[in-house]
Amino acid sequence: MPDFDNKTSDSIVVRQDVPLAPFTSFRIGGAARFFTTAGSLDQLRQSLLFARREGLPFCILGGGTNLLISDQGFDGVAIRMQLEEVQVSGNRIEAQAGVDLMELIRRTAELGLSGMESLAGIPGSVGGAVRGNAGAYGSCMADVTERVLALHAQSLELLSLEPGECAFQYRDSRFKRDPSLVVVSALLSLSPGDPGEVRQKMEATVARREARQLQCDLSAGSFFMNPVVTDPELIRRFETDQGVRCRECRIPAGWLIDQAGLRSTRVGGAMVNPRHANYLVNTGDASAEEMVRLASLVKRRVRDELGVVLREEVSSLGFTSESPRGQGC
Ligand SMILES: Cc1cc2nc3c(=O)[nH]c(=O)nc-3n(C[C@H](O)[C@H](O)[C@H](O)COP(=O)(O)OP(=O)(O)OC[C@H]3O[C@@H](n4cnc5c(N)ncnc54)[C@H](O)[C@@H]3O)c2cc1C
C-alpha cells in the first residue's frame, strides 16, 4: 500500500454558498451550501466528518466533466478532490484520485509505459475515470487497473480493492453503485514500450478526438450510455447504415438519437450537438432545467420511435430535496 496515508495536513477551510458551475464542463448549476478542498487523505476525512456533523449529504467533485448540477445547487458539502500525487514503480503507477487523467497519460508516454493511449483526451480526474470506468476506442480504465484504494465515508476506513471487487462493467463500477466509497487512488499496471511509439499512439488518439470537434463544447461528453439493443431489425439497420458490426449488442446512443431525427434539437440554451447527437451541449446560457427537459425529450422520442430506453451516463447533483444522507450524486 502506498504511503499517501501518512501525510499530515492543515485543517480544512469550509466555504459557504460557492457557485459550482465553474467546476463543471457544462458550466451549469447553482451553488453548494458548503465547499471544501481535499488536498490530503486527512482533509478528505475531515470533509466527510464535517458533512456528517452537519447532517448533510456530500459530493465529490473531480474534473466536473461528467456532472450536471441543478439550478438550485447542492444543499450539502461539495468536496473538491485534490489528491494529486503519482508514484511510479517499474511498469506500475499509483495515481491519486485528483490527478488529471490526460496529464497522467502524458506521463506514461514519457516513461514509455503502454496501455492508456486510447484513453488520451478523456477529460477529468483519475477518480472520476475509475468510478465511471471511463473508456474510448475499445479500451477502458478496468483494463489497466490492478487495485483501487477507496475511503469508506461512514467508517472512514481505507479499503484496498482488487479488480474483482470493483465490479467494473461498461461505464459502471462498484464505486458508482455505492456512493459511500470515495476513490482515493488507483494502481495502474502498464506494459513497457517504446516512449516514441507510446507518444505517437497517444497523439493519434487525441488527433482523432479533435477531428470530431467536440472537445471545446460545453458538454459532459456522451450524455447517454450506449444501450444493449435486442431488436434484430434495428441492429441490422445500424450495421448496414454504419458498415460496422455492433459490439456486445450495444448500439451507439448517438446513432439512435440521430435516427429519431433529433440532431440540433433545442430546448432553450440546451441543444443536441449537430456533430455528435449523444453530446447535449450548453450553447451559452442553458439552465439545468433546460438540459433535463432536452434529455427527457430525447429519451421519450428514442423510446417511442425506436423502442429503446436510454440511460444517462452523466451524473446529476442536487435535483431532489430528499437526497439520501451520504453522497449526493
Ligand atoms: C468533451 C468530453 C469528452 C468526453 N469523452 C469521454 C470518453 O471518451 N469516454 C468516457 O468514458 N467519458 C468521456 N467523457 C466524460 C468524462 O470525461 C468522464 O466520465 C470522466 O471520467 C469523469 O471524470 P471527472 O473527474 O470529471 O468526474 P466528475 O464529473 O467530477 O464526477 C462524475 C461523478 O463521479 C463522482 N466522483 C468523481 N471523483 C470521484 C472519486 N474520487 N470517488 C468517488 N466518486 C467520484 C462524482 O461525485 C460524480 O458523481 C467526456 C467528457 C467531455 C466533456
Q: Strand 270-272 to strand 266-267: parallel, antiparallel, or no bridges (unpaired)?
A: antiparallel
Q: What is the 3-state secondary structure (H, E, C) of 63-119?
A: CCCCEEECCCCEEEEEEEECCCCEEEECCEEEEECCCEHHHHHHHHHHHCEECCHHH
- Residue 112 backbone class (left: φ over 0; alpha: ψ -120 to 50; beta: rest): left
pLDDT given for residue 10 in this prediction: 77
From 45, 80, 147, 171, the catalytic residue: 171
Check if 136 has its Cβ closer than 6 Å to any atom of ligand 1.
yes
pLDDT for res 212: 81
Which three cell numbers, joined as nine digits, stand for 66? 461528467
The number of the ligand 1 atom at minimal distance from the alpha carbon of 217 is: 1
Is the pLDDT score of 88 beyond 50?
yes
pLDDT band at 152 (very low <50, low <70, confident <90, very high): very high
Confidence at 9, pLDDT banded by 50, 70, 90: low
- Alpha-carbon span 304 to 171, nearest angstrom: 25
pLDDT, tens only, 158-207: 999 999 999 999 999 999 999 999 999 999 999 999 999 999 999 999 99
> Under 8 Å CB-to-CB from 244, ≥6 apart: which residues?
none
Residue tagged 484504494 (cell numbers): 149
3-class DSSP state of 284: coil
Ligand 1 centre to CA of 328 (Å) is: 15
The ligand 1 atom nearest the CA atom of 127: 41
Is the ipTM here above 0.95?
yes
C-alpha cell at 275: 456533430
Catalytic residue among 25, 70, 222, 287: 222
Kindly give the number of the ligand 1 atom that is closest to the alpha carbon of 215: 1
Pairing of strands 181-189, 191-192: unpaired
pLDDT at 185: 98
The model's pLDDT over 128-139, given as tens digits with 9 standing for 90+, comes to 999 999 999 999
CATH numbers and ranges of domains, the chain: 3-83 (3.30.43.10), 86-206 (3.30.465.10), 222-313 (3.90.78.10)
Predicted pLDDT of residue 247 = 83
Residue of 45, 47, 313, 323 marked catalytic: 313
Residue 220 CB less than 6 A away from ligand 1: yes
321 phi, psi to nearest 5 deg = -80, -10
Identify the CA nearest to 97 among candidates 134, 117, 124, 72: 124
The string of pLDDT tens digits covering residues 30-46 is: 999 999 999 999 999 99
pLDDT surpassing 70 at residue 6: no
Q: pLDDT value at position 287?
A: 98
The pLDDT of residue 325 is 39
Q: Are 42 and 4 in contact (CB under 8 A)?
A: no
What average pLDDT does the segment 69-85 reach?
Answer: 98
289-328 pLDDT tens trace? 999 999 999 999 999 999 999 999 999 999 974 333 345 6
The three three-digit cell numbers of residue 218, written as one number: 460545453
Q: What percent of the chain shows pLDDT beyond 90?
A: 90
15 annotated active-site: no
Quote the percentage of the chain above a pLDDT of 70.
Answer: 95
Taking only the tens place, the pLDDT of each residue in 225-247 is: 999 999 999 999 999 999 999 88
For residue 226 and ligand 1, the question of a CB distance below 6 A is answered with: no
Our mutation pick for probing the ligand 1 site, out of 131, 149, 152, 183, counting the most ligand atoms within 8 A of Cβ, is 131
Specify whether 70 is catalytic: no
23 lines ligand 1 (CB under 6 A): no
Q: Are 108 and 115 in contact (CB under 8 A)?
A: yes
Is 275 one of the annotated active-site residues of the chain?
Answer: no
